[in-house]
Chains A and B, each alone.
Chain A
Amino acid sequence: DTGVSQDPRHKITKRGQNVTFRCDPISEHNRLYWYRQTLGQGPEFLTYFQNEAQLEKSRLLSDRFSAERPKGSFSTLEIQRTEQGDSAMYLCASSFQGAGTEAFFGQGTRLTVV
């Protein structure tokens, strides 16, 4: 296993278009997280899955954002009607269940909305 994989690495889109990102976690990990990072800031939590269940969503996640993890393996994050303010790095992380288990991050998807 090569770690958490995200696709694409970079995405440029026009305002108003829809985009979808994919995350493949480490295979044994049942927890999956999405974070967003804007320039000069630390990552901010967006949403969390345990297996296929989406158990928590941040208030940052507007109605234009939707995330799925249909079979408890890979996850997708879709942004509808993109806005310039959506430009950011979208990071995925995965971990085992448990208080002390560390989260491993993917390389991220850099979204630019023009």
Chain B
Amino acid sequence: GEDVEQSLFLSVREGDSSVINCTYTDSSSTYLYWYKQEPGAGLQLLTYIFSNMDMKQDQRLTVLLNKKDKHLSLRIADTQTGDSAIYFCAPKGQYGGATNKLIFGTGTLLAVQP
């Protein structure tokens, strides 16, 4: 089945850039989403990229996609303490089936130091 891997933890200082990486196995992934989860809360959709794009920028967020290597990254510019959360990448492809369900990895915990 689909496998999504992310590093478990990232620590940055406030004002620095954060880069969260994700690798996935489903080469048929057409849409790749990034979700943010704050402690005890649900998932908030941050951004997504379509598989025919290499890059998408949305304010402080930049998503880079290397489809050949099945590697996705999320860069957060000028990281703030409010960005501290768990970040999940979720590719949507054939393993989602006709239901288009999302497959999540374990997520990356981003800790922003003041």
**Which residues of A come within 8 Å of B, CB atoms?**
4, 6, 31, 33, 40-45, 48, 50, 55-56, 91, 93, 95, 98-108, 110
Residues of chain A with a CB closer than 8 A to B45's CB: 102-105
User: Is there an interface contact between B43 and A41, defined as CB atoms closer than 8 Å?
Assistant: no
Using CB atoms, name the residue of chain B closest to A46. B101
A107 near B41 with CB under 8 A, answer: yes
Instruction: Tell me, yes or no, whether B24 is within 8 Å of chain A by CB.
Output: no
Q: How far is the CB of B32 from chain A (nearest CB, A)?
A: 11
Asked if A56 meets B42 with Cβ closer than 8 Å, knowing A102-B48, A103-B102, the reply is no
Distance in Å from the Cβ of B39 to the closest Cβ of chain A? 11
Cβ–Cβ contact A100 & B31, under 8 A:
yes
Q: Indicate with 1 or 0, residue by residue over B15-33, a CB within 8 angstroms of chain A CB atoms.
A: 0000000000000001101
Given A40-B106, A100-B30, A106 contacting B42 (CB threshold 8 A): yes
A103-B98 Cα distance, complex, nearest whole Å: 14
In the complex, the answer to whether A42 meets B41 with C-beta atoms within 8 Å is no
Please, how many angstroms separate the alpha-carbon atoms of A104 and B33 in the complex? 11
Per a CB cutoff under 8 Å, which of A42, A100, A102 touches B107?
A: A42
- The complex places the Cα of A100 from the Cα of B45 at a distance, in Å, of 13
Of all chain B residues, which has the CB nearest A41? Answer: B106
CA of A40 to CA of B88, assembled, Å: 12
Least CB distance from B65 to A in Å reads 15
A101: chain B residues within 8 A (beta carbon): 100
Complex CA–CA separation, A97 to B44 (angstroms)? 19
Note all chain A residues with C-beta closer than 8 A to B88.
42-43
Interface check B97, CB cutoff 8 A:
yes
Q: If A105-B43, A108-B42 touch, does A42 touch B104 (CB 8 Å cutoff)?
A: yes
B50 touches A107 (CB 8 A): no
